[in-house]
Structure 1
Amino acid sequence: MTASDTAEDTPEKQSLLRRAVAAAAIGNCTEWYDFGVYAYVATYVGAAFFPGNDPTLEALSAFGVFALSFLLRPLGSLFFGPLGDRIGRQRVLAVTILLMSGSTFAIGLLPGFSEIGYAAPALLLLCRMLQGFSTGGEYGGAATYIAEYAPNKRRGFYGSWLEFGTLVGFGLGALVPTALILSLSDPAMHSWGWRVPFLIAGPLGGVGLYLRKKLEDTPAFKHLEQSHNIAKSPLKAMLVGHWRTLLILMGIVVIINVGNYTLLTFMPTYLKQTLGITDAGALIPLIAVIIMMLALITFVGRLSDRVGRKPVFLSACICFIVLPIPAFMLIAQANWATTLLGLMLLGLCHVQLIGPLAATLPAMFPTVVRYAAFSIGYNIATSAIGGTTPLINEAMIEVTGNDFFPAYYLMAAAALGIIPVLLMKETAGKPLDEGYAAPGTTATSATS
């Protein structure tokens, strides 16, 4: 069964498709809510768990924990990805959202360094690693889930809603801390205010778990079960039959993650600490850019259905080569209008990458290894490049004294990203398993 079998030809199928998209997107929303919160309260987290007299060192310590947690993402993908190809997407996604939201909630309850000493940063790292482990199976599964439900000719549009969930999550993760920072005194934020956004992850994850428990597995996976084509070892099948495609995927993910973690995670700290912009002057323009990207992202997804995924990705890479220097020159003026304009230039680059993302990468692999291949490739690249991006940017600015280093990093990643984009196959409008020997398999990997 291909995704076309779930085309929107009846009200019941339309309703099922909408519920599947919502259930997948809310997990991504929860994941990026955590990233947004951590980015916006990183200075408070650093002060609570790594106290000292140097705000830059505290921020570096907080981002160091952020980067270390990404070491668990490949392990999570190695565990959850093959499991999702063996027992189904829905069951695994129910577990990942529970672990992910639970570990974020726990951070809000942790005692600080002044209360339990070095046990405090150790517990923070433990929670972040659990979050990283569960995230290793979250995004790949959610993207796979939507891709296997969506009609072939509208996969870009429906897949873009997963990234819509990303932006909503990050927007909430920015809005809640911003509201607290602007309404509470600085001592109150350092004392207890920074904990509130983390605690909100509990009920948010509960809603996601409820939605996911109500859904069945995807038609593609159920067909795989019925035809007895489930791989005994999806990991082996992936490595034997699809390693070249896996490398292409990882190359594409590099530019996506440098863009993600520069714009959505590192930028709040950059604006406040490096440029000395006030809380309101830094946070409000970022929220405005997120709103702009929310308005554009489904149109970008729909555009990729019409013109193809490769042209949209190539446009994004070219924009990220040309626009970062002008964008950072505007941001460096450190006034509200130019900061907003510079951030919008970066947002226009980035929305072209994430709009077709969830429709493109899962479609590169057959159903039999899709969850494992996408999760493992995505998370290895994310751990190596994405999680370290804020730390590298912060450290290199400190070492070189060059405030434009993040722009050069974006440009280098985009230049390298053009190569795998050119090498990838165009998948727009095509059945998920087109070109394979049997539905959901290759001739050599169906029973590997």
Structure 2
Amino acid sequence: MSATAAAAAPGHEPSAKEIRLVIAASSVGTVFEWYDFFIYGTLAALIGKAFFPADNETLQLLLVWAGFAVGFGFRPLGAILFGYLGDRLGRKYTFLVTVTLMGVATAGVGLVPGAVSIGLAAPAIVILLRILQGLALGGEYGGAAVYVAEHAPPEKRGFYTSFIQSSVVGGFVLSIIVVIGCRAFIPADAFEAWGWRVPFLLSLILLAVSLWMRLKLSESPVFKAMKQAGEMVKNPFVESMTYPGNPKRLFVALFGITGVLTTIWYTAFFSGMSFLRGPMRMDEATVEIVMLVSGAISMGFYLLVGKWSDRVGRKRPIIIGAIATLVLLFPIFWGMGSLANPGLAASARAAPVIVSGSGCEYDAFASKQATECGRVLADLTSLGVSYSVGDPEGAPHVSVGGEPLAIDPADDAGRKASLQSALEAKGYDFAKQKPPLASLAGIVGLLCALGLLSALTYGSVAALLAEMFPPQIRYSSMSIPYHIGAGYLGGFLPLIAGYIVATTGNPYSGLWYTWAVVAFGLLVAWWGIPPGPPRDFEASEHDLPVSPANP
């Protein structure tokens, strides 16, 4: 490879105005794409009723998260496809395609009739649209991150690219703002019936704004210099797999960088939201406001970490964030539980629930449990009550604090209601919670702590990944491991964590998935992320075979 025309494209130094436009257009597009993707998770409960109706409430929610995971599962394929196009045809036009595909697919979800109207075709169409969203998202992040990184001066690359990471949170925040706004103007019954579709349809307006801004951009100077010098590769995907040293870099990017950042991110925002809405029984509108405030505050953390990484290097913030997560993850959620629903937490400690009897197993994916004891566990799970399983023999029965409850496990019609009444008599509170202002402030503070942990492991990542890989295959090389990690390790987190909680009866048990992924990722990051100050990819160490720009 020549001194790499791409290494800097010194012929043209972007002006301050051009840099601002690059950051603004890339960030707005990223906000829009992630808004489209996250609106599905923000409205998970209503989407479950519309497209995945089931008698088992837990199964209904798990099916929604399965649909959420399907979109993530196709992100790696989108990374391969659009990474190829981005490295062959250019950064700008590739992420114009991805943003358009995302907008059309998102609006489509808002137009699909419910399962009551068209049966199984409804969830099938929604899953197809989620697949299109996943493909689009697979090309978006790499395109935006590479585009900004290749415009930024090296000494400010971490700060400039941190706007992309902050924009991911911005998409989540925007999805909540839109939902809160729709709830304010649409009556509650109407919102549940049809109003939840409005946030999906609004994506067409956001698409128009994003396209208008991105069409004003020029191609990356790095890509233009490579094309003029004839330093394009024939197959970016193959070269990404075979370029000297790249297998190690791909492994580190997958497990040591993306695996850490994505599980912390989804735990902070999606698990936090599900935890407060579900087991802690907080009022939905209150949860949305809490998530909005904490998310908006957290956006600033990503910019601070990105700027800090320009001085201390990319590795230190990630290592600090991963270690802090392993230490603080469970205490933060314990604290939120105590503040959100102190009565439930106190009752669980003072009067633990023990379920005994033969066939006492819970299948979260069954529409109806096979045994009477299993149906009792399903009721407790839907009530958000922690339980433990005792003697596996005999007739099913439930004890609270050592005293048996007078319920009939065989009474499918009234068992859950009688179980709830009996637990309430023992001090359990199942009313929707609206914690006092001081408690809400504490919850926001703890969510911001999770946001800071996410920022430490995510704020400098776009710059780090751009610096890890050679320019000719940069789009593909950073997109593929990023979207495999984010698509599978992160995208399946709500489903896996929800399943663990459902099968154990412990609302905190799903956190072990995050803890395990971060612990392994910490070891990989310590071993594989380059130490020291930030630096460009050292292209002179290896020579990448290139083909003419127009073979």
Q: TM-score range by the shorter chain?
A: over 0.9
Q: Residues 388-411 of structure 1, C-alpha deviation per residue, up to 9 Å, x if partnerless?
A: 000011111000111112432232
Question: How far apart in 2 are the matches of 1:304 and 1:4?
Answer: 20
Aligned to 2:249: 245
Task: Judge conservation of contact 2:265–2:451 (CA < 8 Å) in 1.
Answer: no
Does residue 363 (structure 1) correspond to residue 467 (structure 2)? The answer is: yes
| Paired AA for residue 300 in structure 1 | V
Q: State the SS of the aligned residue for 1:98.
A: helix
Contact kept in structure 2, 1:3 and 1:147, CA below 8 Å: no
Amino acid at match of 2:535: K
After TM superposition, the structure 1 stretch with the greater mean CA deviation from structure 2, 399-408 or 383-392, is 399-408
How far is 1:6 from its partner?
A: 7.1
Q: CA RMSD in A?
A: 2.0
Distance 1:418 1:164 in 2: 22
Among candidates 474, 491, 506, match of residue 402 of structure 1? 506
**1:39 equivalent in alignment to 2:41:** yes
Q: Is this contact kept in 1: 2:109–2:200, CA < 8 A?
A: yes
Within 5 Å, which residues of 2 pair with 1:347-426?
347-422=451-526, 423-426=528-531
Matched-pair contact (CA < 8 Å) for 1:254–1:382 = yes
Counterpart CA distance in 2 for 1:126 and 1:292 is 34
Aligned with 1:210 (options 209, 212, 229):
212
Q: Does the C-alpha gap of structure 1 residues 116 and 6 become closer, same or farther in structure 2, counting only changes over 3 Å?
A: farther
Residues 3 and 150 of structure 1 are in contact (CA less than 8 Å); yes or no, is this contact kept in structure 2? Answer: no
CA contact (8 A) 1:250 1:377 kept: yes
The residue number in structure 1 matching 2:160 is 158
Instruction: Give the aligned partner of residue 543 of structure 2.
Output: 443
**Counterpart among 287, 291, 294 of residue 289 in structure 1:** 294
Tell me, yes or no, if structure 1 residue 262 matches structure 2 residue 367.
Answer: no
Q: Which range is displaced more, 245-254 or 407-416? A: 407-416
User: 1:164-215 CA deviation, whole Å, 9 max, x = no partner?
Assistant: 2212211011121133345544321221111111111111122111222221
Q: Against the structure 1 CA distance between its residues 332 and 366, is the aligned structure 2 distance closer, same or farther, given a 3 Å change threshold? A: same
Runs of 4+ in 1 over 6 A off after TM superposition: 6-9
How many Å separate the matches in 2 of 1:150 and 1:325?
Answer: 38
Task: Give how far 1:387 is off.
Answer: 1.2
CA deviations on 1:217-261 (whole Å, 9 max, x unpaired) are: 111111110111100111121111111111110011011111122
1 or 2, which has the higher helix percentage? 1
**Which amino acid in the other structure matches residue 489 of structure 2?**
I
C-alpha separation in 2, matches of 1:269 and 1:193: 21
Q: Name which of 56, 59, 65 aligns with 1:57.
A: 59
What is the CA–CA distance in structure 2 between the aligned matches of 1:400 and 1:248, rounded to whole Å? 33
Secondary structure of the 1:361 match is helix
The structural deviation recorded for 1:426 is: 4.1
- What is the percent sequence identity of the aligned residues? 34
CA 427–191 in structure 1, closer or farther in 2 if over 3 Å, else same: farther
Q: Which amino acid in the other structure matches residue 341 of structure 1?
A: G
What is the CA–CA distance in structure 1 between the aligned matches of 2:507 and 2:184, rounded to whole Å? 26
Aligned residues of 1:149 and 1:218 also touching (Cα < 8 A)? yes
Q: 1:319 aligns with which of 303, 309, 324?
A: 324
Letter in 2 for 1:103: A
SS in 2 for 1:217: coil
Residue identity opposite 2:457 in structure 1: L
The equivalent residue for 1:100 is 102
- 8 Å Cα contact 1:147-1:358 kept in structure 2: yes
Of 306-315 and 271-280, deviating more is: 271-280
Q: In the alignment, what sits opposite 1:298?
A: 303
Counterpart CA distance in 1 for 2:495 and 2:187 is 28
Question: In the alignment, is the contact (CA less than 8 A) between 2:470 and 2:539 conserved in 1?
Answer: no
Whole-angstrom CA distance in 1 between matches of 2:277 and 2:262: 22
SS in structure 2 opposite 1:70?
helix
Distance 1:424 1:348, change over 3 A: same
Deviates more, 1:300-309 or 1:55-64: 55-64
> Is the Cα–Cα contact under 8 Å of residues 35 and 174 in structure 2 kept in the other structure?
yes
Amino acid aligned to 2:268: L
Count of equivalent residues: 441
Q: Is residue 187 of structure 1 aligned with residue 192 of structure 2?
A: no
Q: In the aligned structure 1, how far is the partner of 2:11 from the partner of 2:230?
A: 24
Gaps of 5+ in 2: 341-434
Give the equivalent residue in structure 1 for 2:233: 231
- CA distance in 2 between partners of 1:2 and 1:89 (Å): 13
Using a 3 Å threshold, how does the CA distance of structure 1 residues 320 and 47 change in structure 2: closer, same or farther?
same
Relative to structure 1, is the Cα distance of residues 299 and 340 closer, same or farther in structure 2, using a 3 angstrom cutoff? Answer: same
Contact kept? 1:36, 1:264, Cα under 8 Å: no
The separation in 2 between residues aligned to 1:348 and 1:420, in whole angstroms, is 21
The CA deviation at 1:97 is 0.4
Q: Which amino acid aligns with 2:498?
A: E
- Supply the AA of the counterpart residue of 2:312: V
Letter in structure 2 aligned against 1:360:
L
Give the structure 1 partner of residue 535 of structure 2: 430
Whether the 8 Å contact between 1:256 and 1:354 is mirrored in structure 2 is yes
2: CA distance between counterparts of 1:204 and 1:263? 26
- Amino acid corresponding to residue 405 of structure 1 in structure 2: S
Q: Report the secondary structure of 2:233's partner residue.
A: coil
How many Å apart are 1:56 and its aligned residue?
2.3
The CA distance in 1 between the partners of 2:10 and 2:274, in whole Å, is: 44
C-alpha offsets along residues 107-140 of structure 1, whole Å, 9 cap, x if unaligned? Answer: 1111111111111111111111101111111111
CA gap 1:231/1:3 in 2 versus in 1, 3 angstroms: closer
Quote the offset at 1:7 in angstroms. Answer: 11
> Using a 3 Å threshold, how does the CA distance of structure 1 residues 398 and 7 change in structure 2: closer, same or farther?
farther
1:295 positional shift? 2.5
Q: Report how far residue 58 of structure 1 moved.
A: 1.8
Aligned to 2:83: 81
Which structure 2 residues correspond to residues 261-280 of structure 1 after superposition, within 5 A? 261-280=266-285
Deviation at 1:427, TM superposition (A): 7.6
Q: Is the 8 A contact 2:9 2:225 kept in 1?
A: no
Q: C-alpha distance in 2, partners of 1:395/1:445?
A: 47
Higher alpha-carbon Rg: 2
Seen in structure 2, the aligned counterparts of structure 1 residues 292 and 230 have a Cα distance that, compared at 3 Å, is same
Q: 1:182 to 1:397 in 2, by over 3 A?
A: farther
Report the CA distance shift for 1:357/1:7 in structure 2 as closer, same or farther (over 3 A): farther
- Letter of the aligned partner of 1:353 in structure 2? T
Decide whether the 8 Å contact of 1:98 with 1:205 is kept in 2. yes
Partner of residue 120 from structure 1, selected from 118, 122, 136? 122
